[in-house]
Amino acid sequence: MAAQKKAIHEATKARTKGERSGGFSAEEKAAMRERAQELKAEARGAITEREVLAKIEAMAEPDRSMGKKLHVVVKASAPGLSPKLWYGMPAYAKDGKVVCYFQSGKKFKTRYSTFGFTDEAKLDEGAMWPTAFALTRLTAADWKKIGTLVKTAVS
């Protein structure tokens, strides 16, 4: 019983110090603010490929290099996708709906970056399929696989 009380006390103390479990992290809150700004900019028609490339350029390495290469691969694999920003991340949309995106590992302080697909992607394969991939270092075969997945996603 004493151990349980101590655990409750420690959890309460952590919450009062801003170390809450649950709630949004500072990075998540910043991403939501970015998304609100993006929606306003989209309404004005102000988000262009140039803004997406600027966001990639602002990333730290190795995310910058991966982001640049992903941009090239996505544009070559599915020229009909439009680059846009989505929660501060480079994303690619079909008819205004995001199909795939690149999340810098540094953005949310994770050990890897992510290339992911939304439910708009046509990647269904049986009852279970991957929707995001951890990226660290990519080979020529990996880039080819990403290109094939993007083509399939918009088919």
50-103 tens-digit pLDDT: 889 999 999 999 999 999 999 999 999 999 999 999 988 999 999 989 999 999
pTM as predicted: 0.75
State the pLDDT at residue 35. Answer: 75
Long-range contacts of 75-81 (CB under 8 A, 24+ apart): 76/147, 77/146, 77/147, 77/148, 77/150, 77/151, 78/150, 78/151, 78/153, 78/154, 80/154, 81/150, 81/154
24-153 CATH choice from 3.40.50.1820, 3.90.1150.200, 1.10.287.1080, 3.30.413.10: 3.90.1150.200
Query: What does the domain layout of the chain look like in residue ranges?
Result: 24-153
Q: What digits encode the pLDDT tens for the residues 119-151?
A: 999 999 999 999 999 999 999 999 999 999 999
